[in-house]
Amino acid sequence: MLDSVDNIKFNSETHLKLYLEVQEDNLKLEFNDCEFHGVQFSEHHFLHHKYHDCRFYNCQLSNIKFRDTTLRSCLFVDSKLIGAQFFKTGQFVQLQFINSILDYISFQNMKMIAWDFSGSRLVETEFYQCDCFKSNFSSCDLAGARFVENNLEQADFSMAKNYFFDLTLNKVKKAKFSSPEVLDLLKTFEIEID
């Protein structure tokens, strides 16, 4: 059974922790249209819970394991998700990460259609067999990020920097890139450009 939490603004880790401690053990919570400001989350905040239309501002979610979790239409702004783990047992739909840090994450076999990463840092993050159709990577720092066997069609990489991936291993039809960074994608072909 899901207990619903609607339209609440959590301003501190203590407020959220107190709320969760009041709940019975193993209760599955559904958060709808809630805001979280400056909260440092731990793994139990996401185990078996659902978050719909929630907003996370300046939150710390590093090393969180999103297992049996639903994140639907959620917005993360200026938040840290370093090393977070997104498991197949979760549902992740229409997520936005604006000016956030998502370093060292491995996204595998995920539908990430129209996700927005604009202005975020994704250093050493891996995308493997993901559907990133129409996703927004504009103004991202993608240093060391790996893209293998993904659908990147109509994805936006404009103003992104430090990216390189093999064009023969990813679908990139109608994807947007900026010059001069786009020239790095030609390295795979071992051609010379003057």
Q: Which residues 6+ apart lie within 8 Å of 95 measured at CB?
A: 71, 73, 74, 75, 76, 112, 115, 116
> What is the DSSP code (8-state) at residue 16?
H
Token readout for 67 is 């297992």
Q: What is the pLDDT of residue 188?
A: 79
Percent of the chain with pLDDT over 90: 61
Q: What is the pLDDT at residue 79?
A: 97
Rounded-to-integer distance, Cα 54 and Cα 87, Å: 20
* Chain segment 16-42, per-residue pLDDT in tens: 665 566 455 566 788 899 999 998 886
CATH number of 2-189: 2.160.20.80
CA 183 vs. chain centroid, Å, equals 26
- Condensed to tens digits (0 to 9), the pLDDT of residues 49-78 reads 889 999 999 999 999 888 888 999 999 999
- Locate the domains of the chain by residue range: 2-189
This prediction's pTM: 0.89
Cα 111 to its chain centre, rounded Å, is 12
